[in-house]
């Protein structure tokens, strides 16, 4: 009888171990965290010549959408105001259009109240697009965010005498693929920003929140993504939306 009880206990222990390894603990699955998404880089909808192609699934899907949706419930945003930002703790702006004065105010207030922002602000886009320059469906070639960047104490510069073609800039455990990136310099506004990765990356503590800003968007190229693009985006997500905001290896 004792041997039988021992065998039963061992079988139960093995079953519990299998449940633990498979992740089937009986707990309710965690709801994805909402992530606001706005920008001219077509991460959410993909790239398509006609609206019908977007609706029937004929668009060229952006690789970053699937990666982001592993951890977040993407919420497309067209206009930044109190209503669109309500309920969001995290926001990704991917080469956004020029913001209105009201949008700048709303974005600044949202960050300072505790929001976490990841912003790609490329002074000269290099990624390939199916649409010609001037076509509104094309990602915006030149970023126009000087008012909000200046308010946060940053000046975005384009560097003429830099290597042409793709390269990698690093900071600790972070490797960022870039192509003709901009460079941040301290501006006349508020301070609180730390520059790294050859001044391509700025991390700004603003009130209760923070903004992580990259002066390039090459890692979000749709058609020819760099092999480091996925890992770099994942690391930037950790820096922008994680608790510490620190770069691994520091």
Query: Parallel, antiparallel, or unpaired: how do β-strands 166-171 and 116-120 relate?
Result: unpaired
pLDDT band (50, 70, 90) for residue 58: low
**What's the pLDDT score for residue 181?**
97
Distance of alpha carbon 147 from alpha carbon 96, whole angstroms:
14
pLDDT of residue 132: 66
Q: Tokens in use for 198?
A: 């050859």
Residues 6+ apart with CB under 8 A from 25: 19
- What pLDDT is attached to residue 137? 75
- Give the residue carrying structure tokens 């320059």: 133
Could you read off the pLDDT of 190-248 as tens digits, one per residue?
768 999 999 999 999 999 999 999 999 999 999 989 999 999 999 999 999 997 554 33
Q: So what's the pLDDT on residue 192?
A: 84
Backbone angles phi, psi at 135, to 5 degrees: -75, 130
Q: What is the reported pLDDT for 56?
A: 53
Does the model's pTM come out above 0.75?
yes
Spatial CB neighbours of 60, under 8 Å, sequence gap ≥ 6? 46, 47, 48, 130, 222, 223
Domains located in the chain, CATH noted: 31-241 (3.40.50)
Q: What is the pLDDT of residues 14-34, one digit of tens each?
A: 443 333 434 444 445 678 899
Burial of 54 per CB tally in 10 Å (0-12, 13-18, 19+): middle
Using CA atoms in the order 39, 44, 48, 54, what is the torsion angle rounded to 10 degrees? -130
- Name the band, by pLDDT with cuts 50, 70 and 90, for residue 157: very high
DSSP strands (E only) in the chain:
33-39, 72-76, 90-94, 116-120, 154-158, 166-171, 174-179, 182-186, 193-196, 201-206, 209-214
Q: Is the dihedral of CA 132, 138, 144, 149 positive or negative?
A: negative
Q: Over the Cα atoms of the chain, what is R_g?
A: 22
Contact between 127 and 222 (Cβ < 8 Å): yes
Lookup: tokens for 170: 């690093």
């Amino acid at each position: 009888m004792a041997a039988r009880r021992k065998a039963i206990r061992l079988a139960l222990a093995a079953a519990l171990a299998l449940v633990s390894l498979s992740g089937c603990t009986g707990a309710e699955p965690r709801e994805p965290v909402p992530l606001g998404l706005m920008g001219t880089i077509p991460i959410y909808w993909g790239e398509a010549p006609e609206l019908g192609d977007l609706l029937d699934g004929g668009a060229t899907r952006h690789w970053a959408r699937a990666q982001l949706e592993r951890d977040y419930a993407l919420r497309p945003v067209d206009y930044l105001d109190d209503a669109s930002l309500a309920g969001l703790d995290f926001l990704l702006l991917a080469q956004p259009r020029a913001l209105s004065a009201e949008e700048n105010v709303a974005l600044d207030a949202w960050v300072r109240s505790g929001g976490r922002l990841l912003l790609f602000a490329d002074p000269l886009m290099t990624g390939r697009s199916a649409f010609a320059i001037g076509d509104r469906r094309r990602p915006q070639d030149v970023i126009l965010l000087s008012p909000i960047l200046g308010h946060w104490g940053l000046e975005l510069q384009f560097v003429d005498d830099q290597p042409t073609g793709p390269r990698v800039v690093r900071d600790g455990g972070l490797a960022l693929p870039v192509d003709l990136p901009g460079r941040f310099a301290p501006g006349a506004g508020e301070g609180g920003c730390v520059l790294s990765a050859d001044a391509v990356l700025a991390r700004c503590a603003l009130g209760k929140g923070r903004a992580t800003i990259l002066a390039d968007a090459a890692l979000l190229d749709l058609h020819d993504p760099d092999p480091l693009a996925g890992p770099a985006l994942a690391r930037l997500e950790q820096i922008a939306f994680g608790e510490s905001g620190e770069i691994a290896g520091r």
